[in-house]
A and B are shown apart, each in its own frame.
Chain A
Amino acid sequence: MIVVEDLHKHFGGFHAVDGASLSFDEGAITGLIGPNGAGKTTLFNVIAGVHKPTSGRVTMGGEDITGLPPHDLFHKGVLRTFQIAHEFHSMSCRENLMMVPGGQSGERLWNTWFGRRRIADEERALRAKADEVLEFLTIEHLAEQKAGQISGGQKKLLELGRTMMVDARIVFLDEVGAGVNRTLLNVIGDAILRLNEERGYTFVVIEHDMDFIARLCDPVICMAEGRVLATGTLDQIKANEQVVEAYLGTGLKNRDAVSA
């Protein structure tokens, strides 16, 4: 579905993404793993339009989407969440969700005064949808709460909820599990699986929790030093010598060699 070809992103002399080529298949939940600094988040940022790539191409269904601004990508159904949950802190959870869909008629100043009826209809539909999403994520009791006041894990759920407010085609989840307790992590995992099965969302998940990856992801892509190291099932990846080396360093391998 999304194909990345020889992508480079350099920050000054630092090559955060250094010639990554990979693809994400339609309908799959792809896991993206790799040691810290492997360029996973930068890859996300480049695909999602936050950074312009230094060189390389990103296509979606054959269409070139390289370097499009985030809100254009958003309208094409490319959504992402953040490693550290983002929210509109001064608004309620419901308002946070209702904010998501673009192109609402209430955005135009003219309609604010002269299109009241149409705005009201739209808002009613949006509100119903937001409530449905909150229920799906089992946080309906937080609807009126200010998003700035809910817990970190709940914010992650809200992030996921945001992707459900529009018809997403592909959702990039950046460490949804970071700082989230087991119970909530399972809720998030359930939601991802259900969204994938029931609504056909394609997911790409950056995650460090291997149990979480094992439960959700197939295939798994391992990155290191800005490049793709290996692609396959989690077991294949775990067995890959290069991957072990990237995670644990060569020191361990050498010691093994010595003891053997």
Chain B
Amino acid sequence: MDFLNAFVSLSNYVLIPGVAYGSQLALGALGVTLVYGILRFSNFAHGDTMAFGAMVTVLVTWWLQSLGVSLGPLPTALLALPVGILGTIVLLLVTDRAVYQFYREKKAKPVILVIVSMGVMFIMNGIVRFVIGPDDQRFLDGERFVVSARTFKEMTGLDEGLAIKSTQVITVITAVVVVALLFWFLNRTRAGKSMRAYSDNEDLALLSGVNPERVVMLTWIIVAALATTAGVLYGLDKSFKPFTYFQLLLPIFASAIVGGLGSPLGAIAGGFVIAFSEVTITYAWKKVLGYMMPESLAPDGLVQLLSTDYKFAVSFVILLIVLLFKPTGLFKGQSV
């Protein structure tokens, strides 16, 4: 019984939130990794692209809610998501035309593009705050829990409750669907293969039938879809606040680099590595240890290795370790 209680408690606070957070990071890191692999620069504007996509989705969700449209138990935001993606596609394609294309034609060095993307980041950041304001916004509706702590306790008779939020389930399912679609696209379709070809060998791709402008366009479209989905899922699960997306940039980059920049599979693995490290290190293990250890050894303190205020330090440390010992990441991406 104690063991079950410990396991339930661990699932409730570590495993389930970790999986959900990991999926969100993975989707974000996939966008970063695609831009790096194909357009060959680290896109610092990615966090704010997520914020923009989420913002459009939030606005459309409010509008739908005001019309009385709803998806029943599911959040209305899912209905608004395609609009958010379209909005972000437009934003990214316009940005590319207005900014990145100029530098691409000049064959600017990656480091210049990185700085340029920081400029783009501040502009997007400004747009989002200008339109929706810097505050927390609520747009979640529908059923809150798939399993609530109380029903779980009643069902199983355990002391510990297990709550599974509907947003967590939606996050994981959406992430699986999106990732499956992405891999199918990259590996099975001509359009996806031309993107991989461009990533493998740009010179050769240019000297074959690959049209570079189309590859670039495709990349931004896919990145927009990934970023918006990631942003909306994060917003549903936690809350929508423009600044948090800027902060997410660090764990997202850490995920992409840990997995190996340019490797989609690596981005997913990296997302989960970072998410679980963050959650386990900032989790107070008192309860779990209390169940697992003999009473005399049960800890008095919280057994929390790091306060949640420092959670971003975790990604930083992992990032440093990976860059020091395995700079190409777990899945052998391009070295940084």
Contact = CB atoms under 8 A, between A and B. Distances in A.
Interface string A190-217: 0000000000000000000000000000
Interface residues of B, number: 23
Interface string A71-114: 10011000110100011111100010001111111111100100
Interface string B202-242: 01111111111010001001000000000000000000000
A90 B4 CA distance: 46
A101 B201 CA distance: 16
Given A82-B203, A91-B196, A99-B194, A112 B189 contact: yes
A109 B218 contact: yes
A156 to B, nearest CB: 13
B191 interface: yes
Interface of B: 185, 189-191, 193-194, 196-197, 200-201, 203-212, 214, 218, 221
Contacts of A79: 207
B211 A102 contact: yes
A53 to B, nearest CB: 17
A75 B208 CA distance: 9
Contact of B200 (A90, A105, A119): A90
A99 B189 contact: no
Contact of B221 (A90, A99, A109): A109
A95 B210 CA distance: 13
Given A87-B201, A90-B200, A109-B221, A70 B193 contact: no
Which of B189, B208, B211 has the most CB atoms of chain A within a 10 A radius of its CB?
B208
A56 to B, nearest CB: 21
Contacts of B204: 82, 86-88
A91 B208 contact: no
The 9 closest A-B pairs by CB, nearest first: A102-B209, A106-B190, A86-B204, A88-B200, A70-B206, A88-B197, A100-B208, A70-B207, A112-B189
Contact of B191 (A48, A112, A162): A112
A25 interface: no
Nearest to B263: A90
Contact of B193 (A87, A91, A101): A91
B209 A123 contact: no
A95 B208 CA distance: 13
Nearest to B192: A112
Nearest to B200: A88
A88 B204 CA distance: 8
Contacts of A112: 185, 189-191
Contacts of A82: 203-204
A166 interface: yes
Contacts of B205: 88, 99
A107 B214 contact: yes
A220 B54 CA distance: 64
Contacts of A75: 209
Nearest to A85: B204
30 contacts: A69-B206, A71-B208, A71-B211, A71-B212, A74-B209, A82-B204, A86-B201, A86-B203, A87-B200, A87-B204, A88-B200, A88-B201, A88-B204, A89-B201, A90-B196, A91-B193, A95-B193, A99-B205, A99-B209, A99-B210, A101-B209, A102-B208, A104-B190, A106-B191, A107-B194, A107-B211, A108-B191, A112-B185, A112-B190, A119-B190
A89 B209 contact: no
A103 B214 CA distance: 11
